[in-house]
Structure 1
Amino acid sequence: MKDVYLFSGFLGSGKTSMLTDVIRQLKEKGLKPAVIMNELGKLPFDSQAVEEDVPLKEMLEGCICCSGSEKTEAQIQSLLADSQFDVLIIETTGAAHPVEALDAVYSPLFAEQLNIKGIVTVADSRFWLDRESLTPQVRSLFLEQIRHAHLLLANKMDLLTEVEQAKVVFEMQNVNTNAFILQTTNGRVPLNLLEKLQASAQISKRDINSAKLGSHLHLSSRLIELKSSFSQEQFEQWVRSLPNTIYRMKGYVPIAGVKNPMLFQYAYGLVQWMPEYIQMPSKIVMIGENVENIAVIGEE
């Protein structure tokens, strides 16, 4: 399996500095990194920081989440097919919501090949102290990026006094009680700290429907194989029974009387079905909190 890291954080927070330093550490350890870099503009400014020997896919003028999800899946499939690498790093735009970015990484077609290690959010500490001056929408996204991180870098600590440093760490820890907070300068994070992360629910070889987390991280994912067919009503009834801590599901659901499993999408309470014209694997990916405790439809 390929380890995957999602780097999140606002523009100017220090994501690219972290990326280049992590690439250096991976190479020193003899590991081959690959990068998917998402930029909102037409020009790939940040990608110039990635050395030529590192496989790189760029997504310009679009967000990795939402409408860019299919493009991200295609980029990952291309890397898996054409490039030799050990670790995939996906750097999102500052406008990407962490849950949606994580959702874009997952496709039932290759989920078994990826081990999502976690979301690493780089937060500009001075930006944090000035957050009340932000618009409500920007402030909300900033808080969401911090709340869903598995590892949180309180960056640019060298610009703050000791009192301000303590205030930043204390306040961020109140927003995200699960993440380890590392005080950093220039986005420097030790590789062994990244390697300890584990956000994917690990699937038991005895029973593909059972799963356990590698650690107690709150936001995680789970790949589920559906072993029997259902009516759409049955499946949607199960979906409605799920707690509101399940944010995303997508995959292919076998429907009684329909030749091929149907493409299924779920996001924040909304369900979408689409016909599929080729035989796809009957699997769905679930993203949320405490996904390992969810009883799956069809389980005895």
Structure 2
Amino acid sequence: MTKTNLITGFLGSGKTTTILHLLAQKDPAEKWAVLVNEFGEVGIDGALLADSGALLKEIPGGCMCCVNGLPMQVGLNTLLRQGKPDRLLIEPTGLGHPKQILDMLTAPVYEPWIDLRATLCLLDPRQLLDEKCLSNENFRDQLAAADIIIANKSDRADEDSRQALDKWRVEQGEGREVVFATQGNIDGAWLDKPRENQRELPASVEHSHAHPSSRGLAALSLAQNQRWRRNLNHGQGYHACGWIFDADTVFDTIGLLEWARLAPVDRVKGVLRIPEGLVRINRQGLDLNIETQNVAPPDSRIELITQNETDWNSLQAALLKLRLSSQV
């Protein structure tokens, strides 16, 4: 049986960074796998996890349990039966509802395959001060479904957010473990905690997405001789726009970072080629984190997510002007 953990958390809470830390701690003799899903269509998290040493399966474009759960079942079955990993980490989109995923993982058909351990939920305590988060049923139910709450970004917490977390623990925490972390750096031993939270969760009433015709695994790559492509997605009150550029496209570093910083959206995530190699961009609200390496990624991709109607054409025009090569 494969030891399995669900790693949930709202947009920008730090799920992918946490998974990278957990993978870095694994026993070299073990084979780990990651099943990752994103709201957008271009697969940013897969690019971030590509060099982690884990088996990786991506499901782009919405929640894992869309289309009666078929995309998740296909990915899950592939990893379990072909990969035969010792441990499986499942990362749903930050807009994903946990009930359908947990229901699937505990279904009789998977009993011989899955040893379901603790569900971890990443939480930026500042989100407890944001009415948009508090009113989002997925945000609430992600916390409700968790066995362990990872209070991430503790280095950025202020007195108000600490008090909000204390209040949540008293009113809704119900004795569950709360682990404080910075940049998702947690002890891998938490993964072996048992699944104890068996509370019944309601199904999501907002469980709907609009998918373009290119949805699915085809959205993760460019067609032959295609230099770049844009993908749109929307659902649950959010809009996403993502771009993929070929390996010959290089972006101006300073201009790209300014574009990402100033874009009028809630969320920016990307891995792109720059003259120095690659830059990883991760922005939630006003928090902008960047990391550069002197190796080049196989392509460039960036995703924006927002609750507001946005002029994607203007943002795209500005982004295209930042290309240093492949001006086609």
- TM-score, length of structure 2 as denominator length: 0.57
Counterpart residue identity of residue 7, structure 1? I
User: Contact conserved, 1:123 with 1:155, CA < 8 A, in 2?
Assistant: yes
User: Contact conserved, 1:10 with 1:142, CA < 8 A, in 2?
Assistant: yes
Do residues 39 (structure 1) and 38 (structure 2) align? yes
Give distance in 1, aligned partners of 2:145 and 2:114.
Answer: 20
For residue 101 of structure 1, report the CA deviation from its aligned partner.
2.0
Deviations along 1:55-103, whole A, 9 cap, x unmatched? Answer: 1111011211343522212212111221142000000011111222212
Relative distance call for 1:22 and 1:135 in structure 2 (3 A) is closer
User: Contact conserved, 2:127 with 2:134, CA < 8 A, in 1?
Assistant: no
Residue of structure 1 equivalent to 2:213: none
SS at match of 1:109: helix
Unmatched 5+ residue regions in structure 1? 200-216, 221-244, 249-266, 269-300
User: Contact conserved, 1:6 with 1:90, CA < 8 A, in 2?
Assistant: yes
Q: Alignment partner for residue 189 of structure 1, among 186, 191, 194?
A: 186
Deviations along 1:8-41, whole A, 9 cap, x unmatched? Answer: 011111000101011111145x322101000121
Q: Alignment partner for residue 218 of structure 1, among 168, 189, 197?
A: 197
Counterpart residue identity of residue 81, structure 2? A
Relative distance call for 1:178 and 1:96 in structure 2 (3 A) is farther
Counterpart residue identity of residue 94, structure 1? G
Residue of structure 1 equivalent to 2:142: 145
Do residues 159 (structure 1) and 159 (structure 2) align? no
Counterpart residue identity of residue 218, structure 1? N
Relative distance call for 1:155 and 1:68 in structure 2 (3 A) is farther
User: Contact conserved, 2:105 with 2:114, CA < 8 A, in 1?
Assistant: no
Aligned length in residues: 204
Q: Which moved more, 1:179-188 or 1:47-56?
A: 47-56
Deviations along 1:130-185, whole A, 9 cap, x unmatched? Answer: 2x25573x2x3212111111010111111123564254134234212142001111
Residue of structure 2 equivalent to 1:251: none
Q: Which moved more, 1:78-87 or 1:117-126?
A: 78-87
Counterpart residue identity of residue 88, structure 1? L
Deviations along 1:225-273, whole A, 9 cap, x unmatched? Answer: xxxxxxxxxxxxxxxxxxxx4869xxxxxxxxxxxxxxxxxx99xxxxx
Give distance in 2, aligned partners of 1:163 and 1:135.
Answer: 15
Residue of structure 2 equivalent to 1:198: 194
SS at match of 2:119: strand
Counterpart residue identity of residue 46, structure 2? S
Q: Which moved more, 1:66-75 or 1:175-184?
A: 66-75
Unmatched 5+ residue regions in structure 2? 206-328
Residue of structure 2 equivalent to 1:4: 4
Identity across the alignment (%)? 26
Give distance in 1, aligned partners of 2:21 and 2:97.
Answer: 24
Give distance in 1, aligned partners of 2:85 and 2:189.
Answer: 18
SS at match of 1:7: strand
Residue of structure 1 equivalent to 2:177: 180
For residues 108-123 of structure 1, the aligned pairs below 5 Å read 108-123=108-123
Give distance in 2, aligned partners of 1:87 and 1:108.
Answer: 19
For residue 190 of structure 1, report the CA deviation from its aligned partner.
0.4
User: Contact conserved, 1:154 with 1:169, CA < 8 A, in 2?
Assistant: no
Deviations along 1:101-147, whole A, 9 cap, x unmatched? Answer: 212334433322211102110011111122x25573x2x32121111
Residue of structure 2 equivalent to 1:48: 47
Counterpart residue identity of residue 166, structure 2? V
Residue of structure 1 equivalent to 2:288: none
For residues 1-300 of structure 1, the aligned pairs below 5 Å read 1-27=1-27, 30-52=29-51, 53-67=53-67, 69-130=69-130, 132-134=131-133, 136=135, 138=136, 140-161=137-158, 164-195=161-192, 197-199=193-195, 217-219=196-198, 245=200
Give distance in 2, aligned partners of 1:47 and 1:23.
Answer: 14
